Amino acid sequence: MSSSTEQDNGRRHGEFKVAGGKLVVVDLDVRDGKLANVSLSGDFFLEPDDALLNINQALEGLPEDAAGADIAAAVRQNLPADAVLFGFSPEAIATAVRRALAKATGWNDHQWEIIGPTPLSTPMHVAMDEVLAEEVGAGRRNPTLRFWEWETPSVVIGSFQSLRNEVDAQGAQKHGVTVVRRISGGGAMFMEHGNAITYSIYVPQSLVDGLSFAESYPFLDAWVMESLEKLGIKAWYQPLNDIATDQGKIGGAAQKRFSNGGMLHHVTMSYNIDADKMLEVLRIGKEKLSDKGTTSAKKRVDPLRRQTGLTREEIISTMMDTFSARYGAVPAGLSDEELARAEAKVAEKFGTAEWLNRVP
Q: Determine the Cα–Cα distance for residues 160 and 29; give it in Å rounded to an integer.
A: 45
pTM here is 0.87
pLDDT score, position 6 = 67
Q: Cα–Cα–Cα angle for 236, 242, 247, nearest 5°?
A: 60
Q: Determine the Cα–Cα distance for residues 186 and 6; give it in Å rounded to an integer.
A: 40
Between strands 196-204 and 84-86, the pairing is unpaired
pLDDT score, position 259 = 96
Proportion of the chain in helix, strand, coil states, percent, rounded to 5:
40, 30, 35
Q: Cα–Cα–Cα angle for 116, 232, 44, nearest 5°?
A: 95
Peptide bond into 282 cis (omega under 30): no
pLDDT score, position 298 = 55
pLDDT score, position 224 = 97
pLDDT score, position 46 = 98
pLDDT score, position 211 = 86
Q: Determine the Cα–Cα distance for residues 124 and 342; give it in Å rounded to an integer.
A: 6
Report the DSSP beta bridge partners of residue 331: 114
pLDDT score, position 300 = 47
pLDDT score, position 297 = 53
Q: Which residue ranges in the chain fall short of pLDDT 70?
A: 1-9, 285-302
pLDDT score, position 212 = 85
